[in-house]
Amino acid sequence: SLQPVAVELKSLLGKDVLFLKDCVGPEVEKACADPAAGSVILLENLRFHVEEEGKGKDASGNKVKAEPAKVEAFRASLSKLGDVYVNDAFGTAHRAHSSMVGVSLPQKAGGFLMKKELNYFAKALESPERPFLAILGGAKVADKIQLINNMLDKVNEMIIGGGMAFTFLKVLNNMEIGTSLFDEEGAKIVKDLMSKAEKNGVKITLPVDFVTADKFDENAKTGQATVASGIPAGWMGLDCGPESSKKYAEAVARAKQIVWNGPVGVFEWEAFARGTKALMDE
């Protein structure tokens, strides 16, 4: 719940903040219809409604999908709450969630954080300090082909980690990857990307060791593996190991500017968060 945020917001602003226990519906619409000038209203977490993301899990953990008609009603209710839409959620601006793409108001703007982040990216990509390092993680190579391709024209070094590293390692080293993520489409262009890196003089760092799991689960049995040993059948790599972290740290130490997109492990689970956290500490 965002209720504790209302308390902190009141303290920071030095004025009352009205917290509503929902973010849509008749009561919320009524409260937002004609508030006193200068008043501040904080709505409850949008993601408590499946209609925000379009899918989620119910109280029993079963996957559920939002009904199109209910998504439309959710978006229509959000659109009744104001006159101007300001998006300052840079971290979710790329997602097709209702609050990102479904609020229909005549005036729209980006917020101060959005401006700050976009200005940073403009500087980073147009006139970067060098050496310039890109850290690219996440699952699928195919999702990041354009990003990798573009960054190879701009950076001096690139760390390729996360799930997509296994596609690179299988193609380039013929590594046994067990049931780790493998992107068939992405695999087709791995060698082209590496050729471009070599041509442009971009140093690529891939992981050399891994924390493995016998299933994709927070409480899975864990093990260790290297590129040389491979990952056993039925096991998967969910984080990088200590030797990889050392190599990443060396690349970070060389860099004067870094752009980072995507984690290098399943950081949401403690057993597989060490690689991402170690990289952040650098």
CATH number, domain with residue 20: 3.40.50.1260
- The conformation of residue 92, written as its DSSP 8-state character, comes to G
Return the DSSP state at 195: H
Judgement on whether residues 80 and 183 belong to the same structural domain of the protein:
no
| Stronger pLDDT, 56 or 248, i.e. the higher one | 248
Q: pLDDT band for 145, please (50, 70, 90 cuts).
A: confident
Mean of pLDDT over the chain: 95
Q: Same domain for 123 and 230?
A: yes
Domain count, the chain: 2
Instruction: Tell me how crowded residue 246 is: count the other CB atoms within 10 A of its CB.
Output: 12
The three-state secondary structure class of 172 is helix
**233 and 187 belong to one structural domain:** yes
**Domain match, 141 and 213 both:** yes
Residue of 256, 270, 2, 279 whose CA lies nearest to 133: 256
Cβ contact 27:11 at 8 Å: no
Q: Are residues 79 and 150 in the same domain?
A: no
* pLDDT of 124 higher than 90: no
Whether residue 140 has pLDDT greater than 80:
no
Q: Is the pLDDT of residue 121 over 90?
A: no
Report the candidate in 63, 78, 70, 71 with the shortest Cα–Cα distance to residue 23.
78
Residues 136 and 227 in one domain: yes
Q: How many CA atoms lie within 13 A of 6 on its CB side?
A: 15
Orientation angle between helical segments 141-151 and 190-200, nearest 10 degrees: 20
CA geometry: angle 214, 137, 58, nearest 5 deg:
60
What interhelical angle do 190-200 and 165-173 show, nearest 10? 90
Of the three residues 60, 84, 111, the one that is the final residue of a domain is: 111
Interval 159-177 mean pLDDT: 97
The span from the CA of 279 to the CA of 45, in Å, is 30
- Integer Cα distance of 2 and 54 in angstroms: 21
Q: Do residues 142 and 260 share a domain?
A: yes
Among residues 91, 111, 131, the one where a domain terminates is 111
CA dist., res. 239 & res. 181, Å (int): 12
Q: Which residues contact 119 (CB under 8 A, 6 or more apart)?
A: none
- Same domain for 185 and 155, yes or no, is yes
**Angle, vertex CA 63, rays to CA 59 and CA 67, nearest 5:** 100
Mean pLDDT of 122-148: 87
pLDDT at 6 over 90: yes
* Domain termination site, one of 111, 132, 165: 111
Q: Tell me the C-alpha distance between 144 and 193, whole Å.
A: 11
106 and 124 fall within a common domain:
no
pLDDT at 282: 79
Per-residue pLDDT band for 122 (boundaries 50, 70, 90) equals confident
Kindly state the tokens that stand for 107: 């005036």
Look-up: residue for tokens 């068939």?
A: 184
Whether residue 94 sits in one domain with residue 124: no
Residue 86: which domain range? Answer: 1-111
Interatomic CA distance for residues 87 and 24, integer angstroms: 18
- Write out the H or E segment, with its range, that includes residue 251: helix 242-254
